[in-house]
Amino acid sequence: MLSIKNLRVSINGKEILRGINLEVRPGEVHAIMGPNGTGKSTLASVIAGRDIYDITEGEILFKGKNLLDMAIEERASEGIFLGFQYPVEIPGVSITNFMRTAVNEQRKYRGLDPMPANEFLAKMEEKKQLLEIQAKLANRSVNEGFSGGEKKKNEIFQMAMLEPSLAILDETDSGLDIDALKIVAAGVNKLRKADNAFLVITHYQRLLEYIVPDIVHVLYDGRIVRSGGKELAVELEEKGYEWIKAEIA
Amino acid sequence: MEKDPNNILDEVTQGEYKYGFYSDIEMETAPMGLSEDTIRYISAKKNEPDWLLQYRLDAYQKWLSMTEPTWAHIHHPPINYQEIIFYAAPKKKKEYSSIDEIDPELIETFNKLGISLEEQKRLTGVAVDAVIDSVSVKTTFSETLEKQGIIFCSFSEAVQKVPDLVKQYLGTVVPTHDNFYAALNSAVFSDGSFCYIPKGVRCPIELSTYFRINAANTGQFERTLIIGDEGSYVSYMEGCTAPMRDENQLHAAIVEIIALKDAEVKYSTVQNWYPGNKKGEGGIYNFVTKRGICKGNNSKISWTQVETGSAITWKYPSVVLLGDNSVGEFYSVAVTNNYQQADTGSKMIHLGRNTKSTIISKGISAGHSSNSYRGLVKMTKRAENSRNFSQCDSLLLGDKCGAHTFPYIKTENKTSIVEHEATTSKISDDQLFYCNQRGISTESAIGLIVNGYAREVLKQLPMEFAVEAQKLLSISLEGSVG
Ligand SMILES: Nc1ncnc2c1ncn2[C@@H]1O[C@H](COP(=O)(O)OP(=O)(O)OP(=O)(O)O)[C@@H](O)[C@H]1O
Ligand SMILES: [Mg+2]
């Protein structure tokens, strides 16, 4: 589904990703871990198409198509979703209105008519229940005045509404209390299907107890320095990153 | 996928004006230029009583001694008043008793505007008094309203039907010598709407007028007078579109509102006159005087405006708070794009005790446009314990446009409170990235964000209008604010 080959990315002349290789197949959950500032969010943004980076080498294919040729909104409509580490506030725009616009623009890209209003509202209702989101939230402006946890929950809610084939969740667990973490994880698990995939960026093994990954990668200094099964996350939690640094030094 | 944000802004800000057509209806016009004869011609055409002719002539004399104001933050070549046709009316042989009798061209015009009268009548329950150029063509729902004693008709009709009411209130809020354009209007006003709500009556429907400038070279000078008698309520909506023209067209209207004791009048405008082309050629000069007076105690007047059109807008809907405990409100969204210039705001003149006013102004500027807020809040000595809150926000799209805020505050007593807040912001790249990532194109994203920014004002509009205004903002963004 997602195939990244030798991806090198710089910003303002500073190289941040230094040859990333990654293969994600349908149905898989990949976790990406790694110390602060090693390029995890950068990787997520580059996949989503943010255009402030210089891609100096490599390629990204998504469902066989060259992602680097596509605009941000095209990638989204092709099925890429990014749950932001720091969700942005859009004052005065209700979540309902925001989601309706997003759903219908994606449908338009796929040659579909806008979703009928009643169908859309029913879907909103269903997904709110899935994530135990209060009814009122949908009438509030996107992320405006939301608590840290509410913002993260709202990201997953949007993911549920848009049903992407590849969801990249950037530290969705940070800011969530234990109950919210379980609800979000249960929500993600319900959305797991044979034909979609997840890329979960996290610092904590705890999330991976609920969303069990097929593969765990360690990103260090712009490179994936180690990949393994879910035990790798446990090992990192116990030992920290020092032993990896020592090993690759 | 090269995406220079400046290019995108350029693209979205360069849509064409969507109402640029003009209908070929037979017109009857006054000779070009302005003189006492022109005024006598207009007055005679309208079969006016002598006092009104004298009112016009008096205004004309005052106008002759006045000069155009220069204090506004706007620029335009001098206007030659001798090259303007001051009166144009569709040639009509008789009154229309049903919509089928109306010139098909005219109906077509309405259809293009998306306001077919039949549709309006059937679907929305809005009474429409359509003013095409200078003469009111069709009034609907008047019977329903008449039963309640509500008078809603064209201004000319009111002069014939209820001359005493017109005489009692005309010019009492905006005197003939108020300003240059007001004097001009008072001399040559063509038509407009008149509305009287009797004591204790709540007008059951939203009253609406659509104005259009149509004939070539026709200055349009509407005159509107709204009177809310004691304890009454009315919500009045005005909307405009003008067809595309190369020469600049002058538009100098006057709206006067009188709210007596315990009365409430809401006045909403959506203005999208032709703004001129991308190079700043053509477009309407919109020099308007709108003022209301809260004459009685506990009365209330609200102005809500969404301004996306006109090459130049010069407009300060104001409230004189004379009655104790009276309330004045001004909610405004002004969009300027390309080379549009807007100098707009409000005046709140507090004369009564415990009076309250609110000003919420949202300016949105794109392209090379200039968008100024100009406001005056005055607390007189007598206006003890009064309050004003003003919020003036500017949103800039791109870096070639300008936003300015000129708040004037005068307080002559110690118990009143005036608060003024102002912000300037831009649409951030993070917001655009966030929207794009959800599949929303940059153009739609800007539309969404701008509508969100203006929401506080838009939610003051009557439902039917709010939807139209939102679309207009997005078009203005795709087409004008991008
Ligand atoms: N816009 C930018 N300009 C300059 N440097 C940047 C920019 N964005 C990211 N960087 C730098 O790139 C590096 C990687 O940042 P990134 O946000 O990808 O890290 P991360 O792995 O997500 O860290 P964290 O775990 O703290 O979220 C950091 O050194 C950061 O300062
Ligand atoms: Mg990060």
Q: Whose CA is nearest to atom 16 of ligand 1?
A: A39
pLDDT tens by residue, B426-473: 888 899 999 999 999 998 898 889 888 888 888 888 776 777 777 777
Cβ(A78)–Cβ(A85) below 8 Å: no
Q: Which atom of ligand 1 is nearest to the CA of A35?
A: 25
Is the minimum distance from the CB of A41 to ligand 1 under 6 angstroms?
Answer: yes
CA distance B34 to B45: 16
A88 to chain B: closest CA residue = B431
Is the minimum distance from the CB of A12 to ligand 1 under 6 angstroms?
Answer: yes
Q: What is the ipTM of this complex?
A: 0.96
Cβ(A219)–Cβ(A42) below 8 Å: no
pLDDT at A119 over 50: yes
pLDDT at A221 over 60: yes
Which residues in chain A have Cβ-Cβ distances shorter than 8 Å to B473?
none
CA distance A113 to B20: 29
A106 to chain B: closest CA residue = B439
Q: Domains in chain A, start-ordered, CATH in brackets? A: 29-38+71-248 (3.40.50.300)
Give me the count of residues in chain A. 249
Q: Which residues does residue A22 pair with via DSSP β-bridges, in sequence order? A: A4
| Residues near A31 by beta carbon (within 8 Å), at least 6 away in sequence | A200, A201, A202, A208, A213, A215, A216, A217, A230, A233
Helix H or strand E segment including B285? strand B283-294
Residues 419-448 of B with CB under 8 A from A: 428-431, 433-442, 444, 448
What are the structure tokens assigned to B275, written together?
Answer: 């703004």
CA distance B163 to B159: 5
Q: pTM to 2 decimals?
A: 0.80
Scanning B114-265, the segments in alpha helix (DSSP H) are 117-119, 142-147, 155-161, 163-169, 180-188
For A37, A201, A205, the CA distances from A43, given in Å and listed in that order, are 11, 10, 20
Which residues in chain A have Cβ-Cβ distances shorter than 8 Å to B452?
90-93, 141
Cross-sheet strand order for the sheet of A29-33: A80-83, A166-170, A197-201, A29-33, A215-220, A223-228
Q: Which atom of ligand 1 is nearest to the CA of A43?
A: 18
pLDDT at residue B460 in the model: 83
CA distance B360 to B358: 7
Task: Residue B271: name the closest of B61, B447, B480, B53 by CA.
Answer: B480
Which residues in chain B have Cβ-Cβ distances shorter than 8 Å to A158?
438
Q: Which residues does residue B411 pair with via DSSP β-bridges, in sequence order? A: B379
Report the mean per-residue pLDDT for chain A: 92
Only one residue has tokens 């005219």, namely: B106
Q: How confident is the model at residue A103 (pLDDT cuts 50, 70, 90)?
A: very high
Identify the nearest ligand to the CA of A39 by its number: 1
B3 to chain A: closest CA residue = A51
pLDDT at residue B55 in the model: 95
Task: Residue B237: name the closest of B320, B303, B291 by CA.
Answer: B303
- Cβ of B3 under 8 Å from any chain A Cβ? yes
CA distance B212 to B209: 10
Is the minimum distance from the CB of A240 to ligand 1 under 6 angstroms?
Answer: no
- Cβ of A106 under 8 Å from any chain B Cβ? yes
CA distance B479 to B367: 11
Cβ(B479)–Cβ(B16) below 8 Å: yes
Is the minimum distance from the CB of A39 to ligand 1 under 6 angstroms?
Answer: yes
- Provide the shortest C-alpha distance from residue B6 to chain A (in Å): 13
B427 to chain A: closest CA residue = A90
Mean pLDDT of A17-26: 96
pLDDT tens by residue, B7-38: 444 444 444 555 554 555 556 677 777 888 88
Cβ(A164)–Cβ(A80) below 8 Å: yes
pLDDT at residue B6 in the model: 42
Ramachandran assignment for B412, one of left (phi > 0), alpha (psi -120 to 50 degrees), beta (any other) = alpha
**Total Cβ atoms within 10 A of residue B317:** 27
Cβ(A51)–Cβ(A238) below 8 Å: no
What are the structure tokens assigned to B55, written together?
Answer: 């009112």
Is the minimum distance from the CB of A36 to ligand 1 under 6 angstroms?
Answer: yes
CA torsion B147-B150-B156-B159 (nearest 10°) is 100
Q: How confident is the model at residue A180 (pLDDT cuts 50, 70, 90)?
A: confident
Of the candidate ranges A32-36, A128-132, B203-207, B228-232, the one whose mean pLDDT is the lowest: B203-207
Task: Residue A82: name the closest of A163, A170, A202, A22 by CA.
Answer: A170
Interface test with A, best of B437, B455, B460, B471 (most A CBs within 10 A): B437
The answer to whether the Cβ–Cβ distance between A81 and B452 falls below 8 Å is no
pLDDT at residue B14 in the model: 45
Cβ(B276)–Cβ(B245) below 8 Å: no
Task: Residue B395: name the closest of B473, B459, B467, B286 by CA.
Answer: B473
Q: What is the 3-state secondary structure (H, E, C) of B303-320?
A: EEEEECCCCEEEECCEEE
CA distance B343 to B371: 6
Task: Residue B237: name the closest of B245, B226, B246 by CA.
Answer: B226
The answer to whether the Cβ–Cβ distance between B435 and A90 falls below 8 Å is yes
CA distance B70 to A141: 42
The answer to whether the Cβ–Cβ distance between B436 and A76 falls below 8 Å is yes
- Provide the shortest C-alpha distance from residue B468 to chain A (in Å): 16
pLDDT at residue B115 in the model: 54
Of B429, B442, B448, the CB nearest to A98: B448
pLDDT at residue B322 in the model: 96
Is the minimum distance from the CB of A42 to ligand 1 under 6 angstroms?
Answer: yes
pLDDT at residue A197 in the model: 96
Identify the nearest ligand to the CA of A34 by its number: 1
Per DSSP, chain B holds a count of helices (H) and strands (E) of 13, 23
Q: Whose CA is nearest to atom 24 of ligand 1?
A: A36
CA torsion A102-A103-A105-A111 (nearest 10°) is 160
Chain A / chain B CB contacts < 8 angstroms: 80
| Residues near A11 by beta carbon (within 8 Å), at least 6 away in sequence | A42, A52, A53, A54
Residues 169-188 of A with CB under 8 A from B: none
pLDDT at A61 over 50: yes
The answer to whether the Cβ–Cβ distance between A82 and B437 falls below 8 Å is yes
CA distance A18 to A35: 16
B457 to chain A: closest CA residue = A92
Three-state secondary-structure class, residue B115: coil
DSSP A114: P
pLDDT < 50 regions, chain B: 1-15, 21, 92-97, 119-125, 133-140, 211-218, 246, 479-482
pLDDT at residue B278 in the model: 77
The answer to whether the Cβ–Cβ distance between A73 and B436 falls below 8 Å is yes
- Cβ of A55 under 8 Å from any chain B Cβ? no
Three-state secondary-structure class, residue B280: coil
| Residues near B164 by beta carbon (within 8 Å), at least 6 away in sequence | none
CA distance B205 to B418: 35
Cβ(A162)–Cβ(A106) below 8 Å: yes
**Total Cβ atoms within 10 A of residue B104:** 10
Residue whose CB lies within 8 A of the most ligand 1 atoms, among A38, A50, A53, for a mutation test: A38
